[in-house]
């Protein structure tokens, strides 16, 4: 057995590449994916041809057009990208154990047997690249990294783009990544980099040589120790995080910024969040609303409640909080809104209520009605049944 346990695959300019695969007329040309179909939006992805002109994620549409007059813009179609993600995932899983789909364009694969050494892993990656190009499309390319754990494999996967293959292990660490800045590493924000600087850790080599117990103090969490041990090559597994809540937020398009329209969007967000809550078999014991009016600080309030998964209960709490917010937002347009269902627990863990009456883990009548609406919407299409008037506001993650 060789030293490598994880293969990390990072699709190259995935959204733009999918669009180029579907439309041969834009292959080899600069392409940018936008979140909104107008000149006021920004680019959420760019092809490598567009990146060569300086177009990046976050570049405004007018600026991208100025940098690259020949650029082609396409509105994002996340569902299309998800379908391609699943096709790629199915191929990868044929060749090795697909441990996790880390995001719409990133995959984590467990290595074992002959592919745990460098030559075996390289041959495996070559086969996978050929299969993806043949079965999904020649425009779909990826960079791959291998390492003794998921963190080093992920860092290795970012070292050579596009279409690259790199490894990080005992033979080249930490010198191979010594040129990186601290906040180039996944999981280190600018704020965390500031903490490290304050502790005298100013470069990658110092971080790799840090005592993991000292890292726990700097991070103020065991995650610091886990991170440094991973950098040092220990086989630290990913930890499954416990879900803290279900929420949706939305940067509002101009036509939905008036409070009356934004309120209807909030009702739509609640329907989406509550449906996900029920799908996970959970209940929430708090409801939070935040509103961001132009020219003023964000307004945020929460209501505690008995644990529930009833959409209409969350709608009533939402209405009560909008009434509280009205003096603050009256006469102003809203830039963004958000809802959050918090203090979650499993439905099966909820105690019974003799006054309602329901037994432990049983659904109320309202919750059963909500679940029935979920079933109908899943079968006949979202929005077939709505909980009163709302305003759908699909964006980046709903198109396609």
Residues designated as active site: 106
What whole-number distance in Å separates Cα of residue 205 and Cα of residue 227?
14
Bridge partners (DSSP) of residue 251 are 336
Question: How many angstroms from the chain centroid is the CA of residue 243?
Answer: 14
User: What is the rounded CA–CA span in Å between residue 378 and residue 374?
Assistant: 6
> What does the alpha-carbon distance between residue 400 and residue 310 come to, in Å, rounded to a whole number?
29
Are 399 and 77 in contact by the 8 Å Cβ rule? The answer is yes
Q: Which two tokens stand for residue 2?
A: 């060789």
Give the contacts of 2 (CB within 8 A, at least 6 positions apart): 116, 117, 118, 120, 121
Q: Which helix (H) or strand (E) holds 288?
A: strand 282-293
CA distance 158 to 142: 10
At residue 252's C-alpha, the angle toward residues 378 and 396, to 5°, is: 50
Q: Which two tokens stand for residue 190?
A: 């600018």
Measured distance between the N- and C-terminal CA atoms of the chain, rounded to whole angstroms: 44
Reference 248, options 191, 217, 290; nearest CA is 290
d(Cα 391, Cα 400) in Å, to the nearest integer?
19
CA distance 51 to 30: 8
Query: Residue 282's beta-bridge partner residues?
Result: 346
Strands (E) across 58-212 are located at 72-75, 97-103, 106-110, 142-147, 165-167
170-180 in b/e burial notation, b at 16+ Cβ within 10 A?
Answer: eeebbebbeeb
The secondary structure of residue 243, as a DSSP letter, is: P
Residues 79/88, Cβ–Cβ less than 8 Å: no
């Amino acid at each position: 057995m060789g030293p490598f346990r994880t293969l990390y695959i990072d699709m190259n300019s995935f959204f733009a590449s999918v669009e180029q695969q579907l439309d041969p007329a834009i292959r080899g040309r600069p392409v940018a994916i936008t979140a909104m179909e107008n000149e006021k939006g920004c680019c959420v992805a760019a092809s490598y041809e567009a990146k060569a002109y300086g177009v990046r994620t976050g570049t405004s549409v007018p600026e991208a057009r100025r940098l690259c007059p020949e650029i082609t813009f396409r509105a994002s179609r996340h569902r299309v990208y998800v379908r391609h993600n699943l096709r790629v995932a199915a191929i990868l899983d044929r060749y090795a154990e697909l441990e996790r789909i880390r995001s719409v364009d990133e995959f984590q694969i467990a290595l074992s047997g002959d592919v745990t050494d460098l030559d075996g892993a390289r041959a495996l990656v070559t086969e996978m690249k050929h299969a993806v190009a043949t079965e999904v499309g020649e425009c779909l390319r990826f960079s791959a990294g291998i390492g003794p754990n998921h963190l080093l494999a992920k860092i290795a996967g970012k070292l050579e783009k596009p279409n690259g293959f790199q490894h990080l292990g005992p033979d080249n660490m930490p010198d191979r990544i010594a040129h990186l800045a601290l906040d180039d590493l996944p999981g280190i924000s600018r704020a965390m980099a500031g903490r490290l600087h304050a502790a005298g850790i100013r470069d990658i080599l110092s971080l790799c040589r840090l005592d993991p117990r000292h890292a726990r103090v700097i991070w103020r969490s065991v995650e610091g120790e886990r991170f440094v041990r991973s950098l040092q090559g220990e086989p630290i597994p990913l930890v499954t995080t416990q879900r803290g809540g279900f929420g949706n937020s939305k940067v509002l398009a101009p036509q939905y910024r008036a409070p009356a329209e934004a309120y209807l969007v909030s009702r739509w967000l609640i329907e989406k969040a509550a449906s996900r809550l029920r799908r996970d078999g959970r209940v929430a014991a708090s409801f939070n609303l935040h509103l961001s009016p132009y020219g003023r600080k964000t307004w945020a309030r929460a209501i505690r409640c008995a644990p529930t998964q009833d959409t209409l209960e969350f709608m009533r709490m939402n209405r009560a909080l909008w009434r509280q917010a009205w003096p603050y937002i009256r006469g102003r347009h809203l830039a963004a809104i958000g809802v959050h269902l918090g203090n979650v627990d499993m439905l099966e863990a909820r105690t019974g209520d003799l006054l309602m009456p329901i037994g432990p883990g049983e659904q109320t009548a309202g919750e059963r009605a909500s679940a029935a609406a979920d079933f109908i919407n899943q079968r006949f299409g979202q929005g077939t049944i709505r909980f009163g008037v709302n305003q759908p506001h699909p964006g980046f993650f709903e198109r396609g």
